[in-house]
Chains A and B, each alone.
Chain A
Amino acid sequence: MSNILEVKNLTMHYETIDGDVDAVKNVSFNVKAGESFGIVGESGCGKTSVAMSLLQLQAENGKISNGSILFDGLELVGMSENDLRKVRWDGISIVFQGAMNAWNPVVKIGEQIREAMREHSPESSKSQNTLKINELFTMVGLDSSVADRFPHELSGGMKQRAIIALALSCDPKLVIADEPTTALDVVIQDQILNEIKKVQELLGLSLIYISHDIAVIAEMTDKIAVMYAGSIVEIGPTEQVFKFPKHSYTRSLLDSTPSIRGEKKKLRSLEGEPPSLINKIDGCSFSPRCPTPTNGCKNQSIEMGLVKVGNDHYADKCCSECTSE
């Protein structure tokens, strides 16, 4: 299977009045067609920034200073705005965090979906579009009357499903789901996750799933990348990473998640906070909080980079040399 997305050395920073914030540092990963790829990490680790950069939707003061993003053979970095607009939604679409506000409050839901359709397939007629919308709604479990409603008339769960329908409306090849269920209760969350999986299988979509919820990621993804302070610290097949976590950070994440089965053990949470990304960090950014630092870490002078630690499984160089428990 070929790669639908190849990201190499993506580096992005935000320019603020207090200085430059390095949000994404040398991030590289590949997503195969039909694969479900997860990005997990704490709030502020850069996962949303990566997602936004893929479509160049980052905030005005965000600049990509290095790297390449190959989507289906097209180089997205450096593409003109006009060309990017064609790729957006048609090739890659996003399900945003907080669907509550993703809808324009004064326009009906159906019209907002039609708008996207008109943009990318202008030849299709009104009835063709209506048919498609109904299909999409059925797929996500919504009644077709929703199309005539305004956003505030829908519940949170309905809005989220509608967002998924919107994301699929132009038959994209890759869908980015950025914490799509964070604001919902667990019951709806479960439903939505099932919908997403179902849709993905049905349409053969590639999916990038972003979350800070390890449990959800475990359920939804084939391959996973763990991010910390703007860099990927570990990446590999989900099962592998969960069973044999190599990086201290990954281990700490897994340790802090309670499990229903298995032995009862004390939850170990990480002390401290992620570092402020304004100050340039030399070496391993995790070392201040690492429970198993080596001598090299303390000096913070080690060159970071991913090394192979298993079949298709890579971890940050430093911690692959850390003693494992």
Chain B
Amino acid sequence: MNNLENEKEIAKSIRKAAILKNWKLFKQSRLGMVGLYIVAFFFILTILQPILFITGIWDEGTYHPVVGYVDQTQDFLIVECPKEFPTEKYEKRSDCPGRKEVNIKTLFYADGEVGETIQLNLQPAPPSRDHILGTDSLGRDVFSQIMEGSQVAFLLGILSATLGVGISTILGTIAAFFGGRIDAYLMRQSDLVLMLPTLPLLFIISAFAELKIWHLAVVLGTIGGLGGSVITIKSQALQVKVKPFVDSARITGGSQMKILFSHVLPNVAPLALLFMVFSVTGAIASESVLSFLGLLNIEMSWGLMIYLAQVEGYIFSGLKYWWLILPAGLSVTFLTGGFYLVGRGLDEVFNPRLRKR
């Protein structure tokens, strides 16, 4: 009994040393580290929001990304915009009305004459001390929305990636090991999934199913898991299958299940891990695109922020309302990029030929 315990201890310490070595290698990769910092940054944003709410630093009534509202008013000078430009006061059409001015033609809910000042709601509000990134047209704090979007992105990404990789690993290993009809069936199934165009497929599914975060994660995970990755994992598993130690394991009486787990999985794991990281990028991107097109039922996400901005016509306003457009777009870009870079870094850890030294 003692021997067995010792063995387990030794195995554990070997594993620990291996993980440490891998971490050292990962640190070497500049790409991987940059990616890691970016992902860490967004992760901090993710946990920051609940903390701010729980500790009361932020009042939920004001700062909640979906239902928060803050009353912000400002004095506006009523002007009448001329028909032709340039004039003495304004150079281009987009200069009128200016920052603190309002065109009398757009005043529907209030009365006033040209030259008077009037108090109006300032939504969407530009960044201020209270709201680092300003508010959107409904008075909701943009920074809070970014953090909420970060939560959605992480949740969705990791959930769908785990599901997808889990499915493809199991299917790929089964295909490699049992061969024959099961293999043929699984390969054809992958072909079928590969043939379906992704985006239209997602459109169709969103048309007949109300897609919330969990649902979308399951859908993305399943589609990803049943697709081309099965083929790649199968070929990796096949490489293990032909190694002599598998035969010797079988001869010495190891059950097939045991062989599967203790030999094949560790070999396939690096590839699966890589897939997982890259799946996250795909999932976040898909969600953003679908939200942007208004097809999802998620309360708040980065894609949704841009969707609202577009629908309300702020996109072509240029840099005037930048806080409605830039933060969300940049967040999607950087978080997906960050995960991708981490994947590249992992690539260097697992594939010795890619390392620098």
Contacts and interface: CB of A to CB of B under 8 A. Distances in A.
A and B directly contacting (CB within 8 A):
yes
A2 interface: no
A17 B187 CA distance: 42
Interface in A51-65: 59-61
Contacts of A61: 356-357
B24 interface: yes
A60 B356 CA distance: 9
Nearest to B24: A17
B28 interface: yes
A60 B355 CA distance: 12
Q: Name which of A15, A17, A59, A60 has the most chain B CB atoms within 10 A of its CB.
A: A17
B357 to A, nearest CB: 5
A124 interface: no
A144 to B, nearest CB: 36
Contacts of A128: none
Contact of A15 (B25, B28, B357): B357
Nearest to A14: B357
A16 B24 CA distance: 12
A90 B144 CA distance: 68
B268 to A, nearest CB: 27
**Chain A, interface size: which category?**
under 10
Interface string B4-27: 000000000000000000001100
Contacts of B356: 60-61
A16 B356 CA distance: 10
Interface in B184-230: none
Contacts of A15: 357
A61 B28 CA distance: 14
Contacts of B24: 17
Contacts of B28: 17
A240 to B, nearest CB: 41
A248 to B, nearest CB: 35
Contacts of A60: 356-357
Nearest to A61: B357
Contacts of B25: 17
Interface string A38-79: 000000000000000000000111000000000000000000
A61 B356 CA distance: 9
Contacts of A59: 357
B61 to A, nearest CB: 53
Interface string A1-44: 00000000000000111000000000000000000000000000
A59 B353 CA distance: 13
A157 B24 CA distance: 42
B238 to A, nearest CB: 22
Interface string B327-357: 0000000000000000000000000000011
Nearest to B355: A17
A57 B28 CA distance: 24
A268 to B, nearest CB: 33
Contacts of A17: 24-25, 28, 357
B23 to A, nearest CB: 12
A155 to B, nearest CB: 24
A18 to B, nearest CB: 9
Nearest to B357: A61
A17 to B, nearest CB: 6
Interface of A: 15-17, 59-61
11 contacts: A15-B357, A16-B357, A17-B24, A17-B25, A17-B28, A17-B357, A59-B357, A60-B356, A60-B357, A61-B356, A61-B357
Given A17-B24, A17-B25, A61-B356, 8 more contacts: A15-B357, A16-B357, A17-B28, A17-B357, A59-B357, A60-B356, A60-B357, A61-B357
